Amino acid sequence: MSVTKQQALEYHSGARPGKIEVSSTKPCLTQRDLSLAYTPGVAEPCMEIRDNPQNVFKYTARGNLVAVVTNGTAVLGLGDIGALAGKPVMEGKGVLFKRFADVDVFDIELDTHDPDEIVKACQLLEPTFGGINLEDIKAPECFYIEETLRKTMKIPVFHDDQHGTAIITGAALLNALEVTSKDISKIRVVFNGAGAAGIATAEHYERLGVKHENIILCDTKGVIYKGRTDGMNKYKERFAQDTKLRTLADAMRGADLFVGLSVKGAVTADMVRSMALNPIVFAMANPDPEITYEEAKACRGDILMATGRSDYPSQINNVLGFPFIFRGALDVHATAINEEMKLAATRALAALAKEDVPDSVCRAYGVQRLRFGPDYLIPKPFDPRVLLWEASAVAEAAMRSGVAQKPIDLDEYRDQLERRLGKAHEIAHMMVQKAQSRPKQVVFPEGEHEKILRAAHLLREENIAYPILLGQEATIGRNAAELGLDLTGIRIVDPECSPLRERFIQELYRLRQRRGVTTTEARVMMKDPNVFGSMMVHMGEADALVAGVSQHFPDTIRPALQIVGTREGLKKVSGCYLMITRSGRLYLLADPSVNIDPTAEDLVEIALCAAGTARRFNLTPRVAMLSFSTFGSTKHPQTEKVRKAVDLLHQADPTLVVDGEVMADVAVSPELLEKNYQFSTLKGGANVLIFPDLASANIAYKLLAKLGGGTTLGPILMGMSKPVHVVARDTEVEEIVNVAAIAVVDAQENELLHWPATNEPLEVAGSRVLES
């Protein structure tokens, strides 16, 4: 997937430069908090640690803190760019540690080429960290640094460039051999690239069962053979073979497996043709492989191919390794990451790939099915099960091999990992992947707006949607040029001169003629891009509409309600937000955006729509009908309205878990429900919260987002016959992309369900649309 320079720079800059921050895990809001966080209270844990050093894991964050250490001498494909220039990569590593395994990171950039200085710095920092991840340090110095640190330190030290690649490709190797029915002890393996990754991977393959004499290592000067002196070191010497082979082409003739850790174009089609029957090719040069997937498949129909790229099948990605390996090592307070733990990680990944893949993972990657075979050799990075399988396997191996200082019960540990994982699973990414499986046409009435242009570019580039921009073509072109955006493949429609205009005017008149709209007025109304966009959706010229970045909510939604209409059987549209708390819990909040004072019957529709939306996000809905009363504690018309809605909901859908009226704190507290309200059906707490009116819902979601640190996704408009979604006026480009992805997924589901519209588009009495 291509990324422009401007996109990368904007991502890393923004209002808060960089990608990471330090966040307090304890409150510091009062004088008492301050006295506990620092002096005098902090002296107590200090004394406890002095008396028993193991208490450092009880009273500090050391047990979840990893140092990512580099000197910037081998950064990605950029080479020796120095410690300072390598800092964005190290921050990125920290993001991956946190996102995939909830491991905290400090990045440490050391301005030195002296390996002994790097060793000394890491040794001095041992009291601070639970582990050291060495990163982007060139060979052969990286071997010496890691070997020395592993001998002298009592915390895990892991060079990801070496062992991450080895572990992940090792899992792919085991499964590729199973698919091709090859014997690991008999295969001939050729490596191109004799740096840190190449040598470590060759050693790992030996431990998996590949015979040493069956491994040929090549570098830029050709085959590494006994007696060669040019470009050699003691680490390459381990794999020097007594052979007459001298070139990569020589080595690949008759080989079963090629492992590329080198450069683009290093392998030719003739080399692949010369390999053994059912050849396996791991071409992992970054960003472009040694031979492209298309070239390799074209020259060998029996080839099994994997690369480092996400746009080809069987991606080999190091992110499947280091976060989860450190997670397991940290949680047992391991003193090292040894070979047993690396082998356990490899075998866990290989085994997981053979398991039935959950539908949620398939949806996240926009495919119907993922099944073990040539195109699916190892799990996907966003598969939440990787944390459970790999971290627990690493922890178990650490205990078995004697490097764990804190033995754990593995069943309890897996439960702990489940809780750490939460239920978020990168919701926005999941929706994007679903959208990419069958992109739909999304019309943007504000097509000349900068944010819409940037969002449209991303949507088309990443194949999420087919954007349609409304506006003057010259203005859109000029604005796009100023932003450096390529709008190739994006449809631009000018409502003022579109050939669709007359047909739309006549249809608008037909729809609104009994609501005071004449043909002349319909012609005037059609100048409004929101009206024109709504007509495009109504008439099938677009599948969905997204608007609101420069307009007030009522102005955006009113035309859609009048033209697109509500789904058959519903009287109201409503809105909801998905709230992801800092702990990773998901809640659906409704209705914070449309209905000002809904009736009991309106609340029923809102609750049923919200429950359906929750299921789309893989949430099993447990619906709480909120009020300022809990199960009859206060008598008031407002509480009676909510209680009536609960009764109606039980009749409308007896299978739905719903209860109320209930106060918000009780609804989301399993402990309070279990202690005081054992009769309630909300076991485990509610995850769909239906508020009694717009004011309470709107205030609650904004406070949760601003003060509680929650992340919101939405607004999501529910109940329309075709997808219409409204973004907030201060929304960011990424949020527009996410909402557009939701709109595409809505359109996909509408296509399957064939939702009809009501015969007459309905107004929404008592809504923000009419009251504003």
Active-site residues: which are they? 38, 93
Cross-strand bridge partners of residue 457: none
What three-state secondary structure class fits 334? strand
| DSSP, residue by residue, 40-109 | TTTHHHHHHHHH-GGGHHHHSSGGGEEEEEE-SSSBTTTBS--TTTTHHHHHHHHHHHHHHH--EEEEEE
Which residue in this structure is represented by tokens 């060139």?
138
CB 133 within 8 A of CB 326: yes
**At 451, which amino acid appears?**
K
Cross-strand bridge partners of residue 441: 466
- CB hemisphere CA count around 248 (13 angstroms): 25
Which of 213, 205, 330, 343 has its CA nearest to residue 261? Answer: 205
> In this structure, are strands 586-590 and 724-726 parallel, antiparallel, or unpaired?
unpaired
> In this structure, are strands 222-223 and 215-219 parallel, antiparallel, or unpaired?
antiparallel
| DSSP, residue by residue, 193-213 | --SHHHHHHHHHHHHHT--GG
Burial of 25 (0-12, 13-18, 19+ CB in 10 A): exposed
Provide the b/e sequence for 601-634 (b: ≥16 CB within 10 Å). ebbbbbbbbbbebbebbbbebbbbbbbebbbeee
CB 77 within 8 A of CB 286: yes
- Sheet hosting strand 711-718, strand order edge to edge: 657-662, 622-626, 688-690, 586-590, 574-580, 711-718
The neighbour count for residue 418, using CB atoms within 10 Å, is: 13
Sign (positive or negative) of CA dihedral 712, 25, 68, 64: negative
| DSSP, residue by residue, 689-700 | EE-SSHHHHHHH
Report the distance separating Cα 347 and Cα 441, nearest Å.
43
Helix/strand number for the chain, H first, E second: 33, 21
What three-state secondary structure class fits 218? strand
| DSSP, residue by residue, 129-175 | -SEEEE-S--TTHHHHHHHHHHHH-SS-EEEHHHHHHHHHHHHHHHH
Helix ranges, 569-693 (H): 600-616, 637-652, 664-667, 670-676
Which of 392, 279, 414, 288 has its CA nearest to residue 344? Answer: 392
What's the gap between Cα 163 and its chain centre? 24
- CB hemisphere CA count around 725 (13 angstroms): 27
Report the distance separating Cα 117 and Cα 609, nearest Å.
62
Which residue in this structure is represented by tokens 């929650």?
710
